[in-house]
Amino acid sequence: MPPQPTLVTLFQHHLWANLRLFERCQGLTDAQLDTTVVGTYGSIRDTLQHIVVAEQSYVSRISTGQRLQRPSDAPPLTMPEMLASLRRTGDELIAWAPKVAPEDAVTIEWDSGPREVPKAILLTQTINHATEHRSQIMTILTQLGIEPPEVDGWTYFDELVRQGI
């Protein structure tokens, strides 16, 4: 496996983990996608959509400095649309991760007014956010009796080795 910059590896794993989970959820019934359990963000479908839209927003802030404005009346994304979006934003994050310098920042509107936020914090939040919500979806899958995919770093490494990467 050729060495990669650390942040590139982290975001390659991030994309891989997102895709594994979304691909597992593609075959679920509507009733399964609409299942939720206490302590999670919401239904599987709502949480998948939340992951995708948040990642679109993080990429927009990192690349343009602007928050992505999705119309409030926009229809929910379909599973194929969500997968396509994750592939795109995942690739963009992989490309951006090594370019972000410690001094790079964006202005974000908070309740208390505008704040300068380092882009490194946005990268951190991107991984943390998706990891938390993937875990919630995997909890719901387990409650439904469905084996969630393994998305840990060891499984990722084993897959890379099997692929000869």
pLDDT, tens digit, for every residue of 98-118?
A: 999 999 999 998 888 899 999
- Average pLDDT value over all residues in the chain: 95
Looking at the domain assignment, is residue 161 inside a domain?
A: no
Q: How many CA atoms lie within 13 A of 68 on its CB side?
A: 14
- Domain hosting residue 126, numbered range: 6-156
pLDDT, tens digit, for every residue of 126-145?
A: 999 999 999 999 999 999 99
Looking at the domain assignment, is residue 162 inside a domain?
A: no
* DSSP reduced 3-state for 108: strand
pLDDT, tens digit, for every residue of 59-85?
A: 999 999 998 888 889 999 999 999 999
Looking at the domain assignment, is residue 40 inside a domain?
A: yes
Looking at the domain assignment, is residue 164 inside a domain?
A: no
CATH code, domain carrying 125: 1.20.120.450
Looking at the domain assignment, is residue 165 inside a domain?
A: no
Residue 52 has pLDDT above 90, yes or no: yes
Looking at the domain assignment, is residue 163 inside a domain?
A: no
Residue 1 has pLDDT above 60, yes or no: no
Total of domains in the chain: 1
pTM of the predicted protein model: 0.93
Distance, in Å, from the CA atom of 105 to the CA atom of 84, rounded to the nearest integer, reads 28
pLDDT of residue 152: 96
pLDDT of residue 72: 87
Kind of pairing between the strands at 105-110 and 113-118: antiparallel
pLDDT of residue 109: 87
Distance, in Å, from the CA atom of 76 to the CA atom of 33, rounded to the nearest integer, reads 13
Return all residues near 165 (Cβ < 8 A) that are at least 6 apart: 1
The amino acid at residue 152 is D
pLDDT of residue 2: 67
CB 22 within 8 A of CB 79: yes
Distance, in Å, from the CA atom of 42 to the CA atom of 152, rounded to the nearest integer, reads 23
The total number of residues shown for the chain amounts to: 165
pLDDT of residue 4: 84
pLDDT of residue 164: 86
Comparing C-alpha atoms, which of 16, 32, 10 is closest to residue 150?
Answer: 16
